[in-house]
Amino acid sequence: MGGLRCVDGSYLTVTPVACTDSVGTPYEITLELSRDGTPYGSVGERCGHLLTRLAHGVDEARRGGGAARRWADPDDRFPGDGPDGELFAFRYRTRAGLVAGGELRCQLRTIPVWQPGRGEWRLTRRAYVEAWGATGVGMRAVLTSAELSVFVRQLVNEAEGCLDGADRARNPVEGAGTGETR
């Protein structure tokens, strides 16, 4: 379970939960949000592949790949070409397509920081991870690219374990005696 300390002091917990088909086979994940241990919302149905792609993108940007190399500090390096932009937005949608029940999104923001000894501005980039629950109350965490990488990797690893664990629980002896391993 991934978690973030927010700027208001609250703690946002994000837990991947397996989505299953009509026969109970897990195929993707949804994210359950909690605020200080209290259920807060459910978002991002079938978002596992997007989280995996984001994890790879953040890691590549931190290594200086693509347009991110123009940022000297690895903590300022994020995927994408522009200085600001949205990395993800997960919402809960009803079957009728209405947005309700929560939202989790991440936007990049460029922030000027005055360097008094140098007499100049230094630009930094941060990821603003924002969550809204069904009540409309929001939460915000401000992350470096290293912190975003750790958070997203935790979600991806837990999602993989969630899907793998659900599959094993459904059929714990699959391949038994055949030499097949998973």
Report CA-CA distances (Å) from 146 to 25, 46, 169: 34, 25, 34
pLDDT in tens, the chain (182 residues): 679 999 999 999 999 999 888 888 888 999 999 999 999 888 988 889 999 999 999 999 999 877 777 888 999 999 987 778 999 999 876 555 555 668 999 999 999 989 999 899 999 999 999 999 877 789 999 999 999 999 999 999 999 988 886 554 444 334 444 444 44
Residues 143 and 130 sit within 8 Å (Cβ to Cβ): no
